[in-house]
A and B are shown apart, each in its own frame.
Chain A
Amino acid sequence: MNWEVGSGLNIGVILLTVIIVAAMLIWVERRLLSLWQERLGPNRVGPFGLLQVVADMIKIFTKEDWVPPFADKFSFVLAPAIIMVAILLSFAVVPFAPGVGVIDSNIGVLFVLAMASIGAYSVMLAGLSSDNKYALLGSLRAAAQMISYEVFMGVSLLGVVALSGSFNLREIVLAQADGWYVIPQFIGFVIFLIAGIAESHRLPFDIPEAEQEICAGYHTEYSGMKFGMFFVGEYLGLVLISSLITVLFFGGWMGPEFLPPIIWFVIKSFIFIAFFILLRAAIPRPRYDQLMSYGWLFLLPLSLLNLLVTGAIILST
């Protein structure tokens, strides 16, 4: 087996690593949240509670996988699969290190945005097919949230694309050899960060699944492994957004020589994962009309302005 972008070994290792990392994030998130809340978190199962994930897995696999009789069976079963598939497919274009990646696509950025849009269907289908009022409210909120953030999410990336002159994520990383894009594109970075939180339905923008208001929103009726797929899908989204921020704004695998490139990628991504968890620990959730007006009236004009200024500077130099 050869080790190059797109080889079978490469794809298998990436798929396995990404899923295991997403599962381990259950433990990481609980430990980090408790660190910031002056607790200890799960520390009983195995060393430092690391096997908590295994215990959770056993629990979730042995639970009854119940489909409500009033649900629309086909889309009810289809919905959790969509979110896993869409986010795992997004990982295909992420360049982890030189020679590590599934595909070097010329439309990498567009592909990620497209997959993010398909992932939103999962949430809406889950809510609609459940035939439950909380789930319906959740998917209603998901739709409202999606149309408000997806626009400026795309626009905020265009500054990076204009600077690097490529939609290929690997070339975007290579173009950052003499300076990370977080400095010239700081506004784009902040906007993409906010859109990324909304995209992965993380607190403070977990409006579609707000536990305190509408039970669990769109996955109220889900149990067993179908719920587990939503759960892992959320963490996969978290990993994806963190690695995308690393790739687009923080120079991907670039770093001083003393560590291998993949380690730099992991370190940078983990910092953003920890930051997302810190956001969950600190910031309360806005109402969804607040998110919509914030998105349409503030972030969208700001991202357009950012694109305009970036374009002007590129043209004038």
Chain B
Amino acid sequence: MLKLIQDTLTSQVHTLWLVFKHAFVKADTVQYPEEAPYMSPRWRGRIILSRDPDGEERCVACNLCACACPVDCIALQKAEDEDGRWYPEFFRINFSRCIMCGFCEEACPTNAIQLTPDFEMAEYVRQDMVWEKEDLLINGTGKYHDYNFYRVAGKSIKGKDKGEALNEAEPVNVRSLLP
């Protein structure tokens, strides 16, 4: 009997007091539309296509992102310009299928496709969920500011032959007998 009374006072009444004290703690709620929540830079949200520091498209239409995509929401077609650069003729992401897994970003060899902290992508018409290249392409470098694929890669394009890229050795002349 006495133990029950003691338990009531130490446990139940104490619990009431502890919960009551929460009245003086600021609420954790973020009132979303008026108050923007903090989104981590690593947040996997809306997909963009970035440009290199020279302002050229980074995407080389290698198709790795489309292969990596588990829901097959990326479609693109390779084309080649007169300089020898590869670029996508069209690049289409169906965001009504996209699950924001970020596999495309991991697969991309040129850091072209990137996921951003933006998540406000609701549309009234289902067709509007399909984004074309001009919707995806941004005028910046995204998360990687200095990277330029054609400056570091061994591919020869107009104005840059093999061996002229950054940190690239001259190609070995296999016909020479010199050591």
The answer to whether B15 and A40 have CB atoms under 8 Å apart is: no
The answer to whether A36 and B1 have CB atoms under 8 Å apart is: no
Which one of A37, A40, A283, A298 lies within 8 Å of B12 (CB-CB)? A283
Question: Interface segment, A1-9, A168-176, A248-256, A274-282?
Answer: A274-282
B23 to chain A: which residues have CB within 8 Å? 35-36
CB distance from B113 to the nearest CB of A (A): 38
A36 to chain B: which residues have CB within 8 Å? 19-20, 22-23
Given known pairs A36-B23, A37-B22, the reply for A298 and B1 (CB within 8 Å) is yes
A35–B24 CA distance with the chains assembled, in angstroms: 8
A34–B26 CA distance with the chains assembled, in angstroms: 11
B169 to chain A: which residues have CB within 8 Å? none
A133 to chain B: which residues have CB within 8 Å? none
B25 at interface, CB cutoff 8 A: yes
A298–B4 CA distance with the chains assembled, in angstroms: 9
C-beta contact mask, B66-90 vs A, less than 8 Å → 1, else 0? 0000000000000000000000000
Question: Interface segment, B27-35, B43-51, B98-106, B146-154?
Answer: B27-35
C-beta contact mask, B122-155 vs A, less than 8 Å → 1, else 0? 0000000000000000000000000000000000
C-beta contact mask, A33-56 vs B, less than 8 Å → 1, else 0? 011111110000000000000000
CB distance from A248 to the nearest CB of B (A): 22
The answer to whether A279 and B16 have CB atoms under 8 Å apart is: yes
CB distance from B10 to the nearest CB of A (A): 14
A39–B15 CA distance with the chains assembled, in angstroms: 19
B4 to chain A: which residues have CB within 8 Å? 298
The answer to whether B22 and A283 have CB atoms under 8 Å apart is: no
CB distance from B11 to the nearest CB of A (A): 10
A38–B29 CA distance with the chains assembled, in angstroms: 8
CB distance from A273 to the nearest CB of B (A): 15
Which one of B1, B16, B25, B26 lies within 8 Å of A282 (CB-CB)? B16
Q: Which interface class (under 10, 10 to 19, 20 to 34, 35 or more) fits A?
A: 10 to 19
The answer to whether A39 and B29 have CB atoms under 8 Å apart is: yes
The answer to whether B28 and A39 have CB atoms under 8 Å apart is: yes
The answer to whether A40 and B19 have CB atoms under 8 Å apart is: no
The answer to whether B15 and A282 have CB atoms under 8 Å apart is: yes
Which one of A40, A278, A279 lies within 8 Å of B29 (CB-CB)? A40
A190–B82 CA distance with the chains assembled, in angstroms: 90
Which one of B1, B15, B25, B28 lies within 8 Å of A283 (CB-CB)? B15
A283–B25 CA distance with the chains assembled, in angstroms: 20
Which one of A38, A278, A281 lies within 8 Å of B28 (CB-CB)? A38
A34–B29 CA distance with the chains assembled, in angstroms: 10
The answer to whether A278 and B20 have CB atoms under 8 Å apart is: yes
Given known pairs A298-B1, A298-B4, the reply for A283 and B29 (CB within 8 Å) is no
Which one of B1, B20, B27, B31 lies within 8 Å of A34 (CB-CB)? B27
A35–B26 CA distance with the chains assembled, in angstroms: 9
Closest residue of chain A to B28, judged by CB?
Answer: A38
CB distance from A169 to the nearest CB of B (A): 28
B20 to chain A: which residues have CB within 8 Å? 36, 278, 282
A298 to chain B: which residues have CB within 8 Å? 1, 4
The answer to whether B16 and A283 have CB atoms under 8 Å apart is: yes
The A268-293 residues at the B interface (CB cut-off 8 A) are 278-279, 281-283
CB distance from B16 to the nearest CB of A (A): 5
Which one of B16, B22, B31 lies within 8 Å of A38 (CB-CB)? B22
A40–B18 CA distance with the chains assembled, in angstroms: 19
A–B complex contacts, Cβ < 8 Å, 6 sampled: A38-B26, A38-B27, A39-B28, A279-B16, A282-B16, A282-B20
Q: List 19 additional contacts besides A36-B20, A279-B16, A283-B12; criterion CB under 8 Å.
A: A34-B27, A35-B22, A35-B23, A35-B27, A36-B23, A37-B22, A38-B22, A38-B27, A38-B28, A39-B27, A39-B28, A40-B27, A40-B29, A278-B16, A278-B19, A278-B20, A283-B16, A298-B1, A298-B4
Question: 7 shortest A-B CB distances, which residue pairs?
Answer: A282-B19, A40-B29, A36-B22, A282-B15, A282-B16, A40-B27, A38-B27
